[in-house]
Amino acid sequence: MQLYESLYCARGDMENRIKEQQLDLFAEAQCHTIPLKLLNIGAQLGLSVRRVYVSLSSAYPYQNEFLRFLGNLRQAYPQLA
């Protein structure tokens, strides 16, 4: 009984943790794809005396994510707003 609890159960628990990690890796965005999808955007820049305007394409597939990213940036750095 001691061998079962100390060795076999621990092995099963370890395999479950490995499986959870693998599922997370396959299901979530990977670190190197996030900047490519959020920051490589075709845009037009417009300049005025006081502001720089950025016009994004309405066909950009990650608009909601980009706006959330921009909102987080503005919250972290209020001087950018």
Question: Looking at the predicted structure, is the pLDDT value of residue 27 above 70?
Answer: no
pLDDT on residue 32: 64
Q: Do 2 and 25 belong to one domain?
A: yes
pLDDT on residue 38: 66
pTM of the predicted model as reported, rounded to 2 decimal places: 0.45
Of 56, 53, 79, nearest in space to 66 by CA: 56
Q: Do 77 and 43 belong to one domain?
A: yes
Q: Do 40 and 75 belong to one domain?
A: yes
Q: How far apart are the first and last CA of the chain?
A: 64
Q: What is the pLDDT of residues 30-75, one digit of tens each?
A: 666 667 666 677 788 899 888 888 788 888 887 888 888 888 888 9
Q: Do 26 and 53 belong to one domain?
A: no
CA torsion through residues 12, 17, 23, 25, sign: negative
Report the helix count and the strand count for the chain, using DSSP H and E: 4, 2
